[in-house]
Structure 1
Amino acid sequence: MPNKGAPVEMNFSQHISGQFNSDLEAIRSQMMEMGGLVERQVANAIEAITTGDTTPADDIIRREDDVDRMEVAIDRECTQILVRRQPAASDLRMVLAVSRVVRDLERIGDEATKIAVHALEISGSTNSGYCQQSIRYMGAEIGKMISGALNAFARNDVDGALDVVRNDKLVDQQYSAALRELITYMMEDPRSIGQAINILWILRAIERIGDHARNISEQVIYVVSGADVRHSSITEMEERAHKDDLPHSGE
């Protein structure tokens, strides 16, 4: 008589494997959806501060709770996968990376809200034009960084992730230049200090968004190569991301 047990066991294993893959894809998709929302929040925040139109700022503040809820929900799913599936190797790295990325996305959302709040505070002020060129440049760069980091994660693109890390240096340099410019304004006109402090917090928030985009890119390298490159220089990242003896997917 044919052995009826083996096919049943194989089908069961295939079902479990298929469900696990669905779980992984679900958290990736939810993370990307959250990333899209946060990306729009940042773009709207930069628009609010550079155009003086506070309508986007009001919307950002209203939607902050949506970002927070998404972080909690995705992180809960990650925890459940770790408990139920006990993934190993590349699957474990993916779950851990998603959990870390949503944390950075939530913080990017927080920084976008800070920009929106300060945009409302300086709305209509005669001194609201301080450092506008720097804000536009930095805003454009962090927009590209967030998009680049999310695309790199979606495609497992290490080189794209490294490009984001390199761009973070440019944002840091522009941030330092803008601070010097702002200090000059305050020294020349002490009456401008109140508004200059608002601009200072906006610049700081933009710079921090760049840092979080860099963090997301570091997780791309971790997922693909297995290398934990947090707190590493760009040179160290390049070396470790492409090292042949690092563990690869499936190991």
Structure 2
Amino acid sequence: MIEILHPTELVRARESGALVAHILQTLKSRSTVGTNLLDIDRWAQAMIIEAGAQSCYVDYAPSFGRGPFGHYICTAVNDAVLHGLPRDYALADGDLLTLDLALSTNGIAADSAISFLVGDSKPSESVAMIDATERALHAGIAAAGPGARIGDISFAIGSVLSEAGYPINVEFGGHGIGSTMHQDPHVSNSGRPGRGYRLRPGLLLALEPWVMVDTAELITDADGWTLRSATGCRTAHSEHTIAITDDGAEVLTLPSPAHP
């Protein structure tokens, strides 16, 4: 299903996006050396409930997972990149942590992910990889607008990632979003310009470039959810929800000035 939102629904989408951004930045500030992933999940739960929002993850049970997910946020560390199931693990200095959060307020969902380094250690390879996913995300957003095609976004994202030297997995990527978290169209992180669905005002997309240092192959943890690099290399993931407007693309999950 491809869903086109009415302008009144876009107002609610902005509310969801702002809440996602606020929670992610708050959790980032609390994620220090020694923080347990299960505490991050509990903090996310408390903030979602306090805001009167609904988690998109707790009851999420797609065909590829061992569902339901049962937690409020995805927490992926180092070689984990997608669907990271929170577990009893205390963050260490230099860990690369990805937080991925989706929630719904008043029936409209928003989805975003951030990757960052914990503590004082900043391995240059990890810094470069995070930067590449963020640049690819910005390129994808810049390529989005009314009349553009999904392939234009995919090409823009893939060009940045390829030029940075990273293999690209096309099994998991961005997606449509609206009254539910995952909708058509699929937005691959590599593709051909001028191909695919033509973008229309009112369409919401979650764009999410992610890479692994030296492989495009994923393996699944015994928990049935967490996806890791097949070689054990580090990974990074950046994501925003955008709305196609008459003038271009509006990013709904940008942090507020209080959370740069």
Asked if TM exceeds 0.5, the reply is: no
TM-score, reference length from structure 1? 0.34
- Higher Cα Rg: structure 1 or 2? 1
Structure having the higher helix fraction is: 1
- TM-score normalised by length of structure 2: 0.33
